[in-house]
């Protein structure tokens, strides 16, 4: 009995873990996903489909707010970009990254604000779980169907890419942009502090 009395009451963090394990994970597995905890995925041919739960960093013992990151990526295309980028680095050419993939917050697909779902100790939290699962079924999975038939863009061969700008050129462009923005805001007499005084 003393052991029971000394047990800490359930926190919102505990309730959140229970929600994912008991209410969300079984339904995601019925939809074809594998995984546990915060991360679930499934394959659609050569495509990887991901569902990743993310707690708000400001969550407390009393309340956990969360959102869900969802993604679709074509693995062979991603690998092709990686291979060409390795060659591009060796040749001093520009890097490219695939624009074929899809990544979004589940809340944004449904027009909700960031971290729209909340879990509290003792619940009831079933409504949050059902809203998330409904959004995955009605908002995300139809998007998956669109992504797996969308035309894919191959990477430009490394040898055909433009030369990668030097770090100095990148720094100069960044300085010009920041200087212009600050001057438009009324800041004057700006001085560079990132240069070696002897190099000018």
User: What is the end-to-end Cα distance of the chain in Å, rounded?
Assistant: 76
Cα–Cα distance between 189 and 48 in angstroms, integer?
Answer: 52
User: By three-state DSSP, how is residue 52 classified?
Assistant: strand
**Where are the strands (E) in the chain, listed by range?**
34-36, 39-44, 47-55, 64-74, 102-105, 117-119
Mean pLDDT of 179-192: 70
Number of domains in the chain: 2
39 plus 99 within the same structural domain: yes
pLDDT tens digits, one per residue of 35-64: 999 999 999 999 999 999 999 999 999 999
pLDDT tens digits, one per residue of 64-89: 999 999 999 999 999 999 999 999 99
Residue 170, pLDDT > 80, answer no
28 plus 79 within the same structural domain: yes
71 plus 88 within the same structural domain: yes
86 plus 173 within the same structural domain: no
pLDDT tens digits, one per residue of 3-13: 444 466 789 99
174 plus 87 within the same structural domain: no
Domain hosting residue 193, numbered range: 165-200
């Amino acid at each position: 009995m003393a052991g029971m009395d000394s047990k800490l009451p359930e926190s919102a963090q505990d309730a959140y873990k229970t929600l994912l394990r008991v209410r969300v994970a079984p339904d995601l597995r019925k939809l074809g996903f594998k995984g546990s905890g915060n991360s679930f995925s499934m394959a659609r041919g050569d495509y990887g489909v991901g569902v990743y739960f993310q707690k708000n960093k400001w969550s407390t013992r009393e309340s956990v707010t969360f959102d869900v990151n969802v993604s679709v990526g074509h693995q062979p295309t991603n690998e092709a970009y990686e291979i060409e980028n390795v060659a591009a680095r060796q040749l001093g050419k520009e890097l490219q990254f695939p624009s074929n993939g899809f990544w979004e917050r589940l809340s944004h697909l449904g027009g909700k604000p960031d971290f729209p779902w909340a879990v509290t100790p003792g619940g009831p939290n079933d409504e949050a779980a059902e809203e998330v699962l409904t959004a995955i079924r009605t908002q995300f999975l139809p998007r998956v169907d669109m992504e797996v038939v969308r035309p894919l863009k191959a990477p430009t061969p490394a040898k055909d890419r433009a030369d990668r700008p030097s770090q100095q050129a990148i720094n100069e462009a960044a300085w010009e942009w920041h200087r212009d923005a600050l001057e438009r805001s009324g800041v004057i007499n700006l001085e560079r502090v990132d240069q070696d005084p002897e190099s000018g």
